[in-house]
Structure 1
Amino acid sequence: MASTLSQKPDTLQRRGLMLIMSSPSGAGKTTVSRMLLEHDGHIRMSVSVTTRPPRPGEVDGKDYYFVGQAEFDRMVEDGAFLEWAFVFGHCYGTPKAEVKAGLRQGHDFLFDIDWQGTQQLYQKLETDVVRVFLLPPSIGELRRRLTSRGTDSAEVIAGRMARAQAEISHWDGYDYVVVNDDIDTCFAKVTQILAAERMRRARQTGLIGFVRELMHPVP
Structure 2
Amino acid sequence: MKPPTEGGRGLSTRLRTAKGRTTASQKWLERQLNDPYVRAAKAAGWRSRAAFKILELDEKYKLFHPGQRVVDLGAAPGGWTQVAVQRVGDAGRVVALDLLPMDVIPGAILLEGDFQEDAVEQAVLAAMDGPADLVLSDMAPNTTGHNATDHLRILGLIELALHFAAKVLTPGGAFVAKAFQGGTEKDLLNMMKRDFASVKHAKPPASRKGSAEMYVVAQGFRGEGFRG
Larger radius of gyration: 1
- Please give the TM-score of this superposition, normalised by the length of structure 1: 0.32
Structure with greater proportional helix content = 1
What's the TM-score, normalizing by structure 2? 0.31
Higher relative contact order (CA 8 A, sep 6+): 1
